Amino acid sequence: MIEYVRGKLVDIETQYIVVDHHGLAYQIFCPNPYTYQKNVEQDVLIYTYHYVREDLVRLFGFKSKEERALFEKLLNVSGIGPKGALAILATGQPEHVVHAIEEEDEAYLVKFPGVGKKTARQIILDLKGKLDDFAPSLFKRDTVALPLKENEFLEEALEALRALGYVEKELKKVRPQLEEEEMSIDGYIKKALKLMLKA
């Protein structure tokens, strides 16, 4: 088991980042690689999960141990694979996911790519009541429940576009059209890019 990788962030792609550790480059798949945009050419510490199957060997990376622990829990849910678990964590707010599971908020969970009503029910069935024990500092049951931000997928998508170099003026032009429908983070990014190319 590789606990973490520490090294220089040398590249960011749509699904993964590349971290150079003394000349050995690690390809690490992340929930939202663009959140590391400000760390390019800097040293980073990424908590990792080494995923091994007959047809796939990959290294998944996370900003915290809590995020990694939730990823592992999600992998144990029937119908959720690594890609689906990463998509659920892509908002960068695992506490909101935990809150949705504890409150049986199916409407929140089905917003994620690949999560339908059946899978959302399975996530709640398998994980409700089993999440605050592995990260009590982050998911205390006795604290006030965090409000779920309106359209946080859109906000994350806009943040990723800012990291790519798009300015506020460009984003303001396309925002009204993006707000017309509910999509995944990737969906918003793709639609925004299409709209900006037409402008």
What CATH number does the domain containing 1 carry?
Answer: 2.40.50.140
- End-to-end alpha carbon distance in the chain: 48
What does the CA dihedral 65, 158, 114, 94 come to, rounded to 10 degrees? 20
Domain extent at residue 35: 1-63
Region 70-78 average pLDDT = 93
* Strands (DSSP E) found in the chain: 4-12, 16-21, 24-29, 43-53, 56-62
Looking at the fold, whether 109 and 43 belong to one and the same domain comes out as no
Looking at the fold, whether 75 and 143 belong to one and the same domain comes out as yes
The total number of structural domains that make up the chain: 3
Of 16, 7, 12, 19, the C-alpha closest to 60 is 16
* pLDDT score at 133: 58
Q: Which sign does the torsion angle of CA 78, 73, 61, 155 carry? A: positive
Domain boundary among 63, 90, 105: 63
Q: Is the pLDDT of residue 146 over 80?
A: no
Looking at the fold, whether 104 and 123 belong to one and the same domain comes out as yes
Does the predicted TM-score (pTM) go above 0.85? no
Looking at the fold, whether 39 and 88 belong to one and the same domain comes out as no
* pLDDT score at 197: 81
Domain boundary among 18, 43, 63: 63
Domain boundary among 23, 44, 63: 63
